[in-house]
Structure 1
Amino acid sequence: MDTGALRWLLQRVSGIALLVVLLFHFGVAHYLPVGDVTYQAVAQRLAQPFWKFFNLAFLILALYHGLNGGWSILEDYVEKSWLRMTLMGL
Protein backbone atom coordinates (compact mmCIF):
# COMPACT_ATOMS: atom_id res chain seq x y z
CA MET A 1 0.00 0.00 0.00
CA ASP A 2 1.52 3.31 -1.01
CA THR A 3 1.54 6.44 1.13
CA GLY A 4 -1.46 8.06 -0.56
CA ALA A 5 -3.66 5.01 -0.14
CA LEU A 6 -2.63 4.63 3.49
CA ARG A 7 -3.41 8.30 4.23
CA TRP A 8 -6.78 7.89 2.46
CA LEU A 9 -7.59 4.81 4.56
CA LEU A 10 -6.47 6.42 7.83
CA GLN A 11 -8.59 9.49 7.04
CA ARG A 12 -11.68 7.28 6.81
CA VAL A 13 -10.78 5.25 9.90
CA SER A 14 -10.09 8.40 11.94
CA GLY A 15 -13.39 9.90 10.76
CA ILE A 16 -15.36 6.85 11.90
CA ALA A 17 -13.45 6.74 15.20
CA LEU A 18 -14.14 10.45 15.74
CA LEU A 19 -17.85 9.88 15.17
CA VAL A 20 -17.92 7.06 17.74
CA VAL A 21 -15.91 9.07 20.29
CA LEU A 22 -18.04 12.18 19.72
CA LEU A 23 -21.31 10.30 20.18
CA PHE A 24 -19.98 8.70 23.37
CA HIS A 25 -18.84 12.11 24.65
CA PHE A 26 -22.22 13.71 23.97
CA GLY A 27 -24.04 10.79 25.54
CA VAL A 28 -22.02 10.90 28.74
CA ALA A 29 -21.39 14.62 29.08
CA HIS A 30 -24.70 16.03 27.89
CA TYR A 31 -27.48 13.46 28.07
CA LEU A 32 -26.93 11.25 31.12
CA PRO A 33 -28.82 12.58 34.14
CA VAL A 34 -26.19 13.39 36.76
CA GLY A 35 -27.86 16.19 38.67
CA ASP A 36 -26.19 19.56 39.04
CA VAL A 37 -23.02 20.02 37.03
CA THR A 38 -20.46 21.66 39.25
CA TYR A 39 -16.79 22.42 38.83
CA GLN A 40 -16.00 19.84 41.50
CA ALA A 41 -17.94 17.08 39.71
CA VAL A 42 -16.32 17.83 36.35
CA ALA A 43 -12.84 18.02 37.89
CA GLN A 44 -13.41 14.71 39.67
CA ARG A 45 -14.51 12.99 36.46
CA LEU A 46 -11.61 14.42 34.44
CA ALA A 47 -9.13 13.26 37.10
CA GLN A 48 -9.95 9.62 36.36
CA PRO A 49 -7.43 7.78 34.12
CA PHE A 50 -10.11 6.61 31.69
CA TRP A 51 -11.26 10.17 30.98
CA LYS A 52 -7.69 11.41 30.64
CA PHE A 53 -7.04 8.71 28.03
CA PHE A 54 -10.40 9.34 26.35
CA ASN A 55 -9.84 13.08 26.01
CA LEU A 56 -6.25 12.63 24.84
CA ALA A 57 -7.39 10.09 22.21
CA PHE A 58 -10.16 12.48 21.12
CA LEU A 59 -7.64 15.31 20.73
CA ILE A 60 -5.11 13.18 18.83
CA LEU A 61 -7.78 11.81 16.48
CA ALA A 62 -9.17 15.29 15.80
CA LEU A 63 -5.71 16.75 15.15
CA TYR A 64 -4.70 13.92 12.83
CA HIS A 65 -8.00 14.00 10.96
CA GLY A 66 -7.95 17.78 10.51
CA LEU A 67 -4.29 18.10 9.56
CA ASN A 68 -4.38 15.12 7.19
CA GLY A 69 -7.52 16.49 5.55
CA GLY A 70 -5.97 19.94 5.13
CA TRP A 71 -2.79 18.41 3.73
CA SER A 72 -4.79 16.35 1.22
CA ILE A 73 -6.79 19.38 0.09
CA LEU A 74 -3.60 21.39 -0.46
CA GLU A 75 -2.00 18.55 -2.42
CA ASP A 76 -5.06 18.05 -4.62
CA TYR A 77 -6.22 21.61 -5.31
CA VAL A 78 -3.23 23.97 -5.06
CA GLU A 79 -1.38 23.54 -8.33
CA LYS A 80 1.52 26.00 -7.93
CA SER A 81 4.24 24.13 -6.06
CA TRP A 82 5.67 27.25 -4.34
CA LEU A 83 2.23 28.20 -3.00
CA ARG A 84 1.47 24.62 -1.91
CA MET A 85 4.77 24.37 -0.01
CA THR A 86 4.20 27.78 1.61
CA LEU A 87 0.70 26.84 2.75
CA MET A 88 1.86 23.44 4.01
CA GLY A 89 4.54 25.21 6.04
CA LEU A 90 1.92 27.25 7.86
Structure 2
Amino acid sequence: MSIVLEATKREVIGKGASRRLRHAEQLPAVIYGKGKEPVSITLAHDAAYHAQEKQEFFTETLTIKLDGQDITVKVQDVQRHSFKPKLVHLDFVYA
Protein backbone atom coordinates (compact mmCIF):
# COMPACT_ATOMS: atom_id res chain seq x y z
CA MET A 1 0.00 0.00 0.00
CA SER A 2 1.50 3.28 -1.10
CA ILE A 3 0.79 6.56 0.64
CA VAL A 4 -0.48 9.30 -1.67
CA LEU A 5 -0.64 12.97 -0.62
CA GLU A 6 -2.30 15.81 -2.55
CA ALA A 7 -0.20 18.98 -2.78
CA THR A 8 -0.31 22.45 -4.26
CA LYS A 9 2.66 24.54 -5.30
CA ARG A 10 3.56 27.50 -3.05
CA GLU A 11 4.49 30.77 -4.69
CA VAL A 12 4.92 32.79 -1.48
CA ILE A 13 7.59 31.50 0.89
CA GLY A 14 8.98 32.74 4.18
CA LYS A 15 8.17 32.72 7.86
CA GLY A 16 5.01 34.83 7.60
CA ALA A 17 3.61 32.83 4.70
CA SER A 18 4.30 29.54 6.50
CA ARG A 19 2.63 30.85 9.65
CA ARG A 20 -0.48 31.83 7.66
CA LEU A 21 -0.58 28.34 6.14
CA ARG A 22 -0.38 26.67 9.54
CA HIS A 23 -3.22 28.82 10.88
CA ALA A 24 -5.28 27.65 7.89
CA GLU A 25 -4.59 23.98 8.81
CA GLN A 26 -2.12 23.63 5.93
CA LEU A 27 1.42 22.28 6.14
CA PRO A 28 4.42 23.83 4.35
CA ALA A 29 6.84 21.34 2.80
CA VAL A 30 9.67 21.20 0.28
CA ILE A 31 10.88 18.63 -2.26
CA TYR A 32 14.55 18.72 -3.27
CA GLY A 33 17.44 16.59 -4.49
CA LYS A 34 18.85 14.91 -7.60
CA GLY A 35 20.18 18.16 -9.03
CA LYS A 36 16.66 19.54 -9.47
CA GLU A 37 15.38 22.87 -8.26
CA PRO A 38 13.65 22.74 -4.84
CA VAL A 39 9.86 22.86 -5.03
CA SER A 40 7.91 24.47 -2.16
CA ILE A 41 4.55 22.82 -1.65
CA THR A 42 1.54 22.89 0.67
CA LEU A 43 -0.13 19.80 2.09
CA ALA A 44 -3.32 19.33 4.07
CA HIS A 45 -2.13 19.04 7.67
CA ASP A 46 -4.57 16.36 8.79
CA ALA A 47 -3.83 14.09 5.80
CA ALA A 48 -0.07 14.37 6.36
CA TYR A 49 -0.42 13.92 10.13
CA HIS A 50 -2.44 10.72 9.77
CA ALA A 51 -0.08 9.43 7.06
CA GLN A 52 2.97 9.93 9.31
CA GLU A 53 1.39 7.72 11.95
CA LYS A 54 2.03 4.73 9.64
CA GLN A 55 5.42 3.03 9.60
CA GLU A 56 5.50 3.09 5.76
CA PHE A 57 5.68 6.89 5.85
CA PHE A 58 9.31 6.73 6.96
CA THR A 59 10.46 3.50 5.27
CA GLU A 60 8.73 3.44 1.86
CA THR A 61 8.48 5.84 -1.05
CA LEU A 62 5.48 8.17 -1.10
CA THR A 63 3.58 9.64 -4.02
CA ILE A 64 2.81 13.35 -4.07
CA LYS A 65 0.22 14.51 -6.59
CA LEU A 66 1.30 17.99 -7.70
CA ASP A 67 -0.23 19.86 -10.65
CA GLY A 68 -1.53 16.69 -12.28
CA GLN A 69 1.72 14.73 -12.06
CA ASP A 70 2.84 12.08 -9.61
CA ILE A 71 6.18 12.67 -7.87
CA THR A 72 7.85 9.79 -6.03
CA VAL A 73 9.61 10.96 -2.87
CA LYS A 74 11.05 9.77 0.43
CA VAL A 75 10.76 11.60 3.73
CA GLN A 76 13.99 13.38 4.66
CA ASP A 77 12.96 15.36 7.75
CA VAL A 78 9.87 15.91 9.90
CA GLN A 79 9.56 18.92 12.19
CA ARG A 80 6.96 18.60 14.93
CA HIS A 81 5.46 21.16 17.28
CA SER A 82 7.16 21.06 20.67
CA PHE A 83 4.06 20.15 22.70
CA LYS A 84 1.01 20.03 20.41
CA PRO A 85 0.22 17.00 18.27
CA LYS A 86 0.98 18.92 15.08
CA LEU A 87 3.50 18.89 12.28
CA VAL A 88 5.35 22.11 11.48
CA HIS A 89 7.26 21.29 8.27
CA LEU A 90 8.18 18.33 6.05
CA ASP A 91 11.22 17.80 3.81
CA PHE A 92 11.10 15.28 0.98
CA VAL A 93 13.81 14.10 -1.43
CA TYR A 94 13.18 12.81 -4.94
CA ALA A 95 13.30 9.01 -4.98
Structure with the bigger percentage of helix: 1
Q: When the two structures are superposed, what TM-score results if normalisation uses the length of structure 2?
A: 0.25
More strand as a share of residues: 2
TM-score, structure 1 normalization? 0.26
Which has the larger Rg?
Answer: 1
Bigger RCO (CA 8 Å, 6+ sep)? 1
